[in-house]
């Protein structure tokens, strides 16, 4: 294994989120698989990412894009075999790319043998592997997550004539974590994959593991106890493996998931993401700075995970009603774009395919404190298809070239797991890897450059952050610091040129070196540091004392 052993590797990671199905089809069946993904590892290495987060690839009826798991220890036949996965894993490690897999702890598919047994009768040994009830009145008042499709968190099982609890789709019954057998089984599953060599686990839907009457059934102490136990066992047997929490909560509610550095290593900062989009539209840094001001400090060995988009809708759960209405009006005028409590669009369409805004958002993603995640296809500016159901519009095939099926598959276009993008703006002939590789000024080339710059200094991943509050509210500026390394990031959120004066007195005498062109900017003095910025422009400066 070529990877360096570093217990805090995840702090320097740049993660690429991908579903194996979407990336590359090497066998011509219209569906991407691990052999294909392995063939594209060179591309990812060249891009500069050093970790891949794989979305669920387990056997599943695929009614929730693989998050309804029917077998935790295997690979869905469409994506290859377990052997194919091992080959892919080794190939990734050879290229210094770590692999993070999904572990859906909260629920299984109703097609999972466990549930089939559990529902078969009330006396079955696996009966209490799930949460059953004679009535649907227990845990009254608990919010429904998939509001567009579900009317209740209870579903009636006609087989065993009882209700079963499900926080997500009704075909995804929740496991019962009050049952120690369930907890042991889930650990064994994690151990299976850890032993194989995966470097980390993204634990899906963790706030909902345990239920208690009279509560919101989210973020309960019992849930944290389960997770801490898992972490302790992982650390003991597989030190250096990482746990990433998927918990769509306010920062203060997320803090307990880090505990004292003995629960999760990382957690997604959900509330920050919509506020970055909001700040851009408002041309005002206020939403961004305020949410980060409210974000509590986390243990030294922990890290936030930042992202712009992912496979789900751009969630608007963690914003106020006024903010939600604003986001809908500005980013999803067409009601087709709205689903659950969010917006199902990709990055480029959200930003009107404006290259400057795309660069600015990526600039913030890669310079704010946290580990960045890039959603597959966003590095070339792929578009979305809101006409596809659920959130499938942001899960279309990767566009490799301008040829047959965009280079994704040799199969007939009708056989593809999802239609490929065709329109003149975002279609595969307009947006693809091959054409962007040819030009230095393409988005792909730019992404490679910025990732390289980011990786050149550990301060991005491991440094502290201090906001500067210039009087011009359209400019977001902050200092990142790690030991003697110091970076100044300045972002113009406005569509027009701006002037900003920064109070850098504290760093008097230091010289600013712009990190992309490496040109020298004036030395810092007692006076306000004046910068003029073009529309949506950002600067990264290194501060050097010579």
Rounded to a whole number of angstroms, the minimum distance from the CB of residue 493 to another protein is 11
Question: How many CA atoms, within 13 angstroms, populate the side-chain half-sphere of residue 51?
Answer: 25
Helix (H, G, I), strand (E, B) or coil at 32: coil
Chain residues 12-51 in contact with another protein, contact rule CB under 8 A: none
Q: Which of 117, 262, 323, 390 touches another protein (CB under 8 A)?
A: 323
* Whole-number Å distance between alpha carbons of 429 and 356: 22
Residue 139 φ/ψ region, left for φ over 0, alpha for ψ in the -120 to 50 degree band, beta for the rest: left
Residues 227, 239 contacting (CB under 8 angstroms): no
Q: Pick the binder of another protein from 320, 334, 440, 519 (CB under 8 A).
A: 320
**Contacting range for another protein; rule: CB under 8 A; set: 178-186, 240-248, 283-291, 401-409:** 283-291
Exactly one of 195, 290, 300, 466 binds another protein (CB under 8 A); that residue is 290
Q: How far is CA 262 from each of CA 188, 189, 342, rounded to the nearest angstrom?
A: 19, 20, 32
- For the bound state, the minimum distance from the C-beta of residue 117 to another protein, rounded and expressed in Å, comes to 49
Q: Which stretch binds another protein (CB under 8 A): 193-201, 286-294, 390-398, 410-418?
A: 286-294
- 29 tagged catalytic: no
Task: Based on the residue annotation, tell me whether 204 is a catalytic residue of this protein.
Answer: yes
Q: Give the integer Cα–Cα distance in Å for 306 and 63.
A: 27
Instruction: Give the range of 153-161, 194-202, 289-297, 346-354 binding another protein by CB under 8 A.
Output: 289-297
What string marks each residue from 458 to 487 as x (binds another protein by CB under 8 A) or -? ---------x-xxxxxx-------------
Tokens standing for residue 362: 């990526």
Contact residue for another protein among 496, 508, 516, 522 (CB under 8 A)? 496
N- to C-terminal Cα distance for the chain?
40
Tell me if residue 344 falls in helix, strand or coil.
coil
Q: Is 260 in the site for another protein (CB under 8 A)?
A: no
Indicate the SS3 state at residue 427.
coil
From 204, 211, 378, 384, the catalytic residue: 204
Nearest residue (CB) to another protein, 269 versus 311: 269
**Given 289, 362, 405, 409, the residue binding another protein (CB under 8 A):** 289
Q: CA angle, 309 as apex, 67 and 82 as ends, to 5°?
A: 35
106-109-110-113 Cα dihedral, nearest 10 degrees: -100
| Rg for the chain, CA atoms, rounded | 23
Residue 254, SS3 per DSSP: helix
Residue in 4, 135, 322, 334 binding another protein, rule: CB under 8 A: 322
Active site members: 204, 246
Q: Which residues of this chain interact with another protein, rule CB under 8 A?
A: 278, 282-287, 289-290, 293, 320, 322-323, 326, 467, 469-474, 494, 496, 498-499, 501
């Amino acid at each position: 294994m070529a990877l360096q052993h570093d217990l805090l590797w995840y702090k320097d990671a740049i993660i690429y989120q991908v579903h194996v199905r979407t990336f590359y089809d090497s066998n011509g069946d219209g569906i991407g698989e691990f052999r294909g993904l392995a063939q594209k590892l060179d591309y990812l290495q060249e891009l500069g990412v050093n970790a891949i987060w794989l979305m669920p690839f387990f056997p599943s009826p695929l009614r929730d894009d693989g998050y309804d798991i029917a077998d935790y220890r295997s690979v869905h036949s469409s994506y290859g075999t377990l052997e194919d996965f091992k080959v892919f894993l080794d190939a990734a490690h050879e290229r210094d790319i770590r692999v993070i897999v999904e572990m859906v702890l909260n629920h299984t598919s109703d097609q999972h043998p466990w549930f089939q047994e559990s529902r078969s009768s009330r006396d079955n040994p696996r009966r209490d592997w799930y949460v059953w009830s004679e009535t649907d009145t227990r845990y009254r008042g608990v919010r429904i997550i998939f509001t567009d499709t579900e009317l209740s968190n209870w579903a009636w099982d006609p087989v065993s004539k009882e209700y079963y609890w499900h926080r997500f789709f009704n075909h995804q019954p929740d496991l019962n974590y009050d049952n120690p057998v369930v907890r042991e089984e889930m650990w064994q599953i994690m151990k299976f994959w850890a032993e194989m060599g995966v470097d980390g686990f993204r634990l899906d839907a963790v706030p909902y593991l345990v239920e208690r009457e009279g509560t919101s059934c989210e973020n309960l102490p019992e849930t944290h106890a389960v997770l801490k136990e898992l972490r302790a066992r992982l650390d003991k047997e597989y030190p250096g493996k990482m746990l990433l929490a998927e918990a769509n909560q306010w920062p203060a509610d997320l803090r307990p998931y880090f505990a004292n550095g003995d629960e999760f290593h990382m957690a997604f900062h959900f509330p920050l993401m919509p506020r970055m989009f909001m700040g851009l539209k408002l041309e005002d840094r206020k939403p961004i700075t305020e949410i980060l001001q409210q974000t509590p400090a986390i243990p030294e060995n922990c890290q936030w995970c930042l992202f712009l988009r992912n496979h789900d809708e751009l969630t608007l759960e963690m914003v106020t009603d006024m903010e939600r209405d604003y986001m809908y009006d500005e980013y999803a005028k067409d009601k087709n774009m709205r689903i659950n409590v969010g917006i199902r669009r990709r990055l480029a369409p959200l930003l009107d395919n404006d290259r400057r805004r795309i660069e600015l958002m990526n600039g913030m993603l890669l310079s704010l404190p946290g580990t960045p995640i890039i959603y597959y296809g966003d590095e070339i500016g792929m578009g979305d298809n809101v006409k596809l159901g659920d959130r499938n519009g942001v899960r279309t095939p990767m566009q490799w070239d301008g040829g047959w099926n965009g280079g994704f598959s040799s199969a007939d276009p009708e056989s593809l797991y999802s239609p490929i993008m065709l329109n003149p703006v975002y279609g595969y002939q307009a947006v693809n890897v091959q054409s962007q590789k040819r030009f230095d000024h393409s988005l792909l080339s730019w992404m490679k450059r910025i990732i390289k710059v980011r990786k050149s200094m550990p301060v991005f991943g491991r440094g502290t952050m201090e906001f500067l509050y210039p009087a011009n509210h359209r400019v977001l500026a902050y200092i990142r610091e790690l030991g003697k390394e110091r970076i100044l990031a300045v972002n113009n959120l406005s569509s027009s040129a701006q002037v900003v004066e920064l109070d850098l007195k504290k760093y008097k005498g230091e010289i600013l070196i712009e990190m992309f062109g490496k040109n020298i900017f004036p030395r810092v003095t007692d006076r306000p540091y004046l910068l003029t910025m073009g529309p949506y422009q950002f600067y990264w400066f290194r501060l050097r004392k010579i």
